A and B are shown apart, each in its own frame.
Chain A
Amino acid sequence: MELFLQQFINGVTLGSIYGLIAIGYTMVFGIIGMVNFSHGDVFMVSSFIALIFFLVLTTWLGVASVALALLIVMVISMVLTGLMSWTIERVAYRPLRGSFRLAPLISAIGMSIVLSNFIQVAQGPRNKPVPPMVTESIALWERNGFTVSVSYKQLIIIAVTAVLLACFWFLVQKTSLGRAQRACEQDRKMAALLGINVDRTISLTFVMGAALAAVAGTLFLMYYGVVNFSDGFVPGVKAFTAAVLGGIGSLPGAVLGGLLIGLIETFWSGYFSIDYKDVAAFSILAIVLIFMPQGILGRPEVEKV
């Protein structure tokens, strides 16, 4: 029971990070039907941006409050990652819109290679450890020498995710930008005829996805305290799995899928073997796609001649 509770808390934390990344996949897929392969690497780069600015703030500028530093770092990372994602969309994906289906996919794979190798060249191939930022934790329950605890880090991650998702939900459901986005998702041509700037809406979708990935990147850095140039691929694939599991194109689905993947992963490592936890994630991806391609909350795809 204690192990279950502890793994549940860990799983929800991990799942929040996956959910934040998954939203980027699901939104882009919903609006232009493309698997944005470089999104995992965008997440990794955002983590590096957070690392750099955290070091600048604490060592150069002498900001003593970790909370303040984290907040500033998160905002900077969101802005810069959004800018980067906007540029990537402009340079590598927009010229290929309306081209044949494989072209943007290959371009995105190329972009993913570029991003991870760019970071390797610019920042070096070694792991980048940061001193632990938040160390306190609360013991919830103790029995037979096993303590179920939730650390402040985990609380921060869950709280930040919840607040951001609320803001994001408001943005998509209640603002004109969100309306434009949903319109483009349903029918791009019709939306354009009704005076929506489709290119701009798509760009903003990329920026929003990247900003959420940047939050995930900052939280990832805070949680694990280490980042490496190759850290984009596996979280990226898992977040994509989350998006698919929840039903691609559906925003609540992405979050639900993220939480499920996080829980499955932590329970698998808790009860079975930690070696095979990635195999479990990938197997779930395959099984879900084969037996339930529309996901939990997605709409079934209708095949037309």
Chain B
Amino acid sequence: MSTSAPARPFEPDFAAAAKDAVLSGVIALGIFGPLVGLRTTQNMSNQLIVESHWGLVAIIVGIVAVGRFVLRAFVFPRMAMWKAQPKVESTAEPSFLRRNIKTIGLVFLLFYPVIIVSMLGYQQSIKWVDNFGIQILIYVMLGWGLNIVVGLAGLLDLGYVAFYAVGAYSYALLATHFGLSFWILLPLAGILAAMWGIILGFPVLRLRGDYLAIVTLAFGEIIRLVLINWRELTNGSAGISSIPKVDLFGWITFNVADPNYVGKVFGLANSSAYYKIFLYYLILALALLTAFVTIRLRRMPIGRAWEALREDEVACRSLGINTTNTKLTAFAIGAMFGGFAGSFFAARQGFVSPESFVFLESAVIVAIVVLGGMGSMIGVAIAAVAMIGGTEILRELSFLKVVFGSDFNPDLFRMLIFGLAMVTIMVWKPRGFVGQREPTAFLTERKAVSGSLVQEGHG
């Protein structure tokens, strides 16, 4: 399968494309033939039997072969031509939308629940505020928190979910055992998570590159396994349930039985939508706090030290920057925001179990940071909306049952499509969605630079 461009780019090379298509069809048959065509199921007497689904295999092989043919005959020559053309630097002023994307996004986020409620009413709004709004914002916040470690300091952390778990369990345990308020436990959870960030960060500082990634992964798994096995404290895999709800500093609560229940205070009908809307604004505030702190820190010496560390660690050390402290603060501050998000998560769910803190979650958060373009805050937000919102939307695709039959379950395909999207986006844009970075230090004018000029760090 040579990828050399044909001599005349306008004329598709059908012979080569046909050969390619046949070859990829054969390969697809080899891979999907047994795995899709022969499905193992249990029969009535609980024995494994094999049943065949050759029709499905034929469809998949057909799609692969035709897809490969189209790619080879039409798409690749076009792309080669497009690449061969000299790039024209666009001098035009960026469009209104592009210039004001942050303001527009912020205003939209502020009014999002209002829009949804006015369109669908309280009861119908719950799903959209909770599954989309809150869920996406949690990942935006986690992405921004991890962005400090991965995007700014250039330390690849594959165990970020551990700090999320520390935050969630801190709130869950302290609130259920001691009845402390969310507003006391939120900073406490952040501090505890930051402490764990330092404890875990300290031994791994000597490591670089993939080794650091693997050790952080190991730490993440250790914390999860301890949560599963330390049954006396954490109740093991069963998790901790009936975690108290958040209230508004004790003035207004969201339990129907309380005298100052929100419905009684404002004379509204009972609905669980108020709590969801409150939680939405809470996580929005927390996420914006993360963004604000990150933006401010980037202009402070410590933030500049992080970015310098990412660009060149050896140069950094020779300039007298204490790399140990720099890395530790990045770990601790990133972990702190993970802890905040974790305690919010526990309050929102009312239930935590080790199931929520598997490696996949860390992978999703890292993927959001890298897919967004490491270090770009707006990119991280876009990636979170695309990846989390996209997979949440897949839950809503029940109309596909009409097409694929009633036993079709779009939920099953969520993570499959998520993984495919990760691979596709990386192959298509290895530098992530947002390819530009705004420098914090500049000589005369602030000029966005291409993301490919930014180093990815060694740690």
Contacts and interface: CB of A to CB of B under 8 A. Distances in A.
Co-assembled chains A and B:
yes
Interface of A: 29, 33-35, 45, 48-49, 51-53, 55-56, 59-60, 80, 83-84, 87, 90-92, 95-96, 99-107, 109-115, 117-124, 126, 128-131, 233, 237, 240-241, 244, 275-276, 278-279, 282-283, 285-286, 289-290, 293, 303, 305
A153 B208 CA distance: 41
Interface string B151-184: 0000010000000000000000000000000000
A52 B422 contact: no
**Shortest 5 CB-CB contacts between residues of A and residues of B:** A110-B422, A113-B419, A114-B419, A117-B416, A103-B430
B213 interface: yes
Given A83-B31, A118-B35, 7 more contacts: A110-B426, A117-B413, A121-B416, A122-B35, A283-B218, A283-B222, A286-B204
A92 to B, nearest CB: 5
B49 A55 contact: yes
B456 to A, nearest CB: 5
Given A80-B30, A105-B213, A240-B214, A124 B41 contact: yes
Main secondary structure of the interface of B (DSSP, over half): helix
Given A102-B156, A102-B370, A52 B35 contact: yes
14 contacts: A48-B35, A52-B50, A95-B427, A106-B366, A106-B422, A109-B366, A110-B367, A233-B359, A237-B218, A276-B229, A282-B219, A282-B225, A286-B215, A290-B207
A63 B317 CA distance: 67
A60 B226 CA distance: 45
A120 B421 CA distance: 18
Contacts of A240: 214
A83 B27 contact: yes
A55 B40 contact: yes
Contact of A244 (B30, B31, B203, B214): B214
B16 interface: no
Contacts of A103: 370, 426, 430
B218 A51 contact: no
Contacts of B374: 102
Most buried by A among B49, B360, B452: B360
Contacts of A110: 367, 419-423, 426
Contacts of A120: 412, 416
A221 B229 CA distance: 27
Interface in B186-245: 203-204, 206-207, 209-211, 213-215, 217-219, 221-222, 225-226, 228-229
Main secondary structure of the interface of A (DSSP, over half): helix
A107 B339 CA distance: 27
Interface in B352-396: 359-360, 363, 366-367, 370-371, 374
A3 to B, nearest CB: 22
B39 interface: yes
Contacts of B36: 122
B173 to A, nearest CB: 20
B121 interface: no
Contact of B50 (A59, A106, A241): A59
A244 B212 CA distance: 12
Contacts of A279: 222, 225-226, 229
Contacts of A102: 156, 370, 374, 456
Contacts of B42: 126
Contacts of B50: 52, 55-56, 59-60
A258 to B, nearest CB: 16
Contacts of B421: 110
Contact of A286 (B203, B229, B366): B203
B276 interface: no
A285 B215 contact: yes
A32 to B, nearest CB: 12
A114 B423 contact: yes
A92 B419 contact: no
A96 B35 contact: no
Contacts of B413: 117, 121
B229 A111 contact: no
Given A95-B427, A289-B215, A119 B419 contact: no
